[in-house]
Structures are given as structure tokens and as C-alpha cells.
Amino acid sequence: MSWLEIGAVILAAVWAGGINTLVGSGTLVTFPTLLVLGVPPLTANISNSVGLVAGGISGTIGYLPEMKGLGRKVAQLIPMSVLGAIIGALLLLVLPPEAFATVVPVLIAIGIVLVVLGPRLSAWAKRHHHEGGRVPVSQVAALMAGVLLAGVYGGYFGAAQGVILIGLLSALSTERLQALNGLKNVLGTIVNAVASLVFIIVEPDLVDWRIAGLVAVGAIIGGVLGARYGRRLAPNVLRAVIVVVGLVGLVKFVFFP
């Protein structure tokens, strides 16, 4: 890997770490970047997941002040994320590599669509979000089931997992939106961490530690910057970069394999 390629991976990871802290979908920056550099899809996906754990931790720490009083909800939802991550990671490893390579364009496209629809999803969630009210048991059950499914998706691929989580949390919880963004960071980081642990234990040869290390370095920086300064960035700028990089990776994968 040349110095230019190393720089490209770290820069993409910085951006991804910041985006993940704010809205999620940072994988749509790092994963296509790795594909463009010629990294095999399965190795790129797994190594990227391992590396992004570090950025998730730094971003989560930055949002801890926003999460005061959420201890019970965190304890309630973490098991769902852990279980979902294990299922998703095992599906990725059990299914043939060709299956993942086949669905990669679809997964990237779904992630891009979710990012593009992000403002509408957020608007819908805000219309249905009422802070401080009592949450019915059925709504709690729906939230737990949704977090479980988001964990399965995140363990398998993960792009735009944050968008899915913040939509679920906003629609089915009554806490402040900034607090829910912090909770989204916690759950997304746990999914990445648990899935990464499964990958390392079951198929360690699929982890490219050089790539994972570069992504980790960039993601840590991005997570810190995202938690401290990222909210000043225009959402449309973030969204545009995600879509452009995602489309470049999609074109590279489909037309120049």
C-alpha cells in the first residue's frame, strides 16, 4: 500500500468517524474507498468494522454528558444490540463470500437511499417524538425488536446503521434527541465491537490488521472532532459527501471489479 493510499484510508476514516458520531453511515465512506483501492469486499467489510470500533468509542465518550439519566434504557437495549450483532456477523461468515459480493451493490444502494431520505425520516420521527412522556409497553417491545434487527444489519454490513437507529429511537422513545444521538452512538459501537470480536475469533484471517489500524487511527480523530465540532457542519454537506463516495464505490464495484 502506497503512502497515497494510506493517506486516502486515514482521511476517509476521519470523515467516517465524524459522520458516525453525528448521524451514522460512515461505512459508506470507508468501505467504498477500500473497494476502490482493490481490497476484496469481505476483507474490506470486516477490517473496516474492526477499525471503526475505535472511532465509535471516542465519539461515544464525547456524547456521554448528553446521556445523563439514560442508564435504564441503555441496559435495556444493549442485550438486543449484542444479540443482533452476533447473528449478523455469523450470517456474514456462514454464507459464502460470493453471496456477500453479490449483495454488496444492493447494500451500498440501500445505505445511500437511507442517507438521502434522512431528512424526511428525521422529520417524520420528530412529528412522532414527544419528550418526557410515558412509553407504552408495546412501544418498548417494538423498540427492542427494532434495535435487534438493526444489530443484525449492522453485524452483517453496517452502512447507515446509525440512520436506522436514530430513526427508531426518535420515533419510539421520549428522551431528548441529543441524548438519543448519544444512545445511538453507544448501540452502534457495541454492534461493531461485538461483530468484530466474532470475526476475530471465528475467522481471524479475514481481518487485515494494517487496514483496521489505519481506519482506527482516522476514526478516533473523526470521532473526537465529530463530538466536539461536527454539529456545526451543514447536514447537506455531510450527506453529499456520503452519497458521492458511496456512488463512486458502487460504480467501481459494479463496472470495474
Grid cell for residue 42 = 469481505
Grid cell for residue 105 = 451493490
pLDDT at 132 over 80: no
> Rounded distance, CA 209 to CA 225, Å?
24
Rounded to two decimals, what is the model's pTM? 0.79
pLDDT at 173 over 80: no
Q: What tens digit of pLDDT does each residue of 224-250 get?
A: 887 777 556 666 666 676 677 667 766
Of 147, 134, 31, the closest CA to residue 85 belongs to 147
Give the range among 1-5, 120-124, 148-152, 160-164 with minimum mean pLDDT.
120-124
Alpha-carbon dihedral 233, 234, 235, 236, rounded to 10 degrees:
-140
Q: What tens digit of pLDDT does each residue of 14-32 get?
A: 988 888 777 677 888 898 8
pLDDT at 76 over 70: yes
> Rounded distance, CA 163 to CA 167, Å?
6
Of 167, 160, 183, 77, the closest CA to residue 127 belongs to 167
> Rounded distance, CA 188 to CA 56, Å?
7
Q: Is 94 exposed, middle or buried (0-12, 13-18, 19+ CB in 10 A)?
A: exposed
Please give the C-alpha separations between residue 150 and each of 154, 158, 199, 245, in angstroms, as whole numbers.
6, 9, 18, 23
- Angle between the N-to-C axes of helices 177-202 and 161-172, in degrees from 0 to 180, rounded to the nearest 10: 140
